[in-house]
Structure 1
Amino acid sequence: MAEKRGVTIRELAQAAGVSIGTVSRALKGQPGLSEQTRGQVLEVAQQLGYDVGKLRTGKPRRMLFLYS
């Protein structure tokens, strides 16, 4: 059975007509974007069902404890 794949930041950038960096700044709320651009990116992200949690490193947060 195929695993459901979410929307990537690259796909989101293409759909919004902006760069990957612009999408990243918009989703993180960083300065350097007009409110119009930020709003456009956020709107497209919502339409596509983009998971904002994907901006994290992608590394699993796991701890391993070894007792002897």
Structure 2
Amino acid sequence: MCLLFMPTDESDASTDGAAAGDDSGKARDISLDEFQPYGTLAVTGAYFILLLVLYALLYFVEFATHAPHIIE
């Protein structure tokens, strides 16, 4: 989901803010201590594991003599 915040005129922003509430357009500020990037860590770990698997497959297919062969 992508949210785009477009610049508006001051008069429009003040009337919209009063009608919808004070913090309707604001995101919650969090400190660095509260930020826990588990999703980023999971994606980075999955990518690293994928690289290791692909490297092992490349090694066995291209360089090892007594290893599993995909193309014979």
Larger Rg: 2
TM-score relative to the length of structure 1 = 0.28
TM-score relative to the length of structure 2 = 0.27
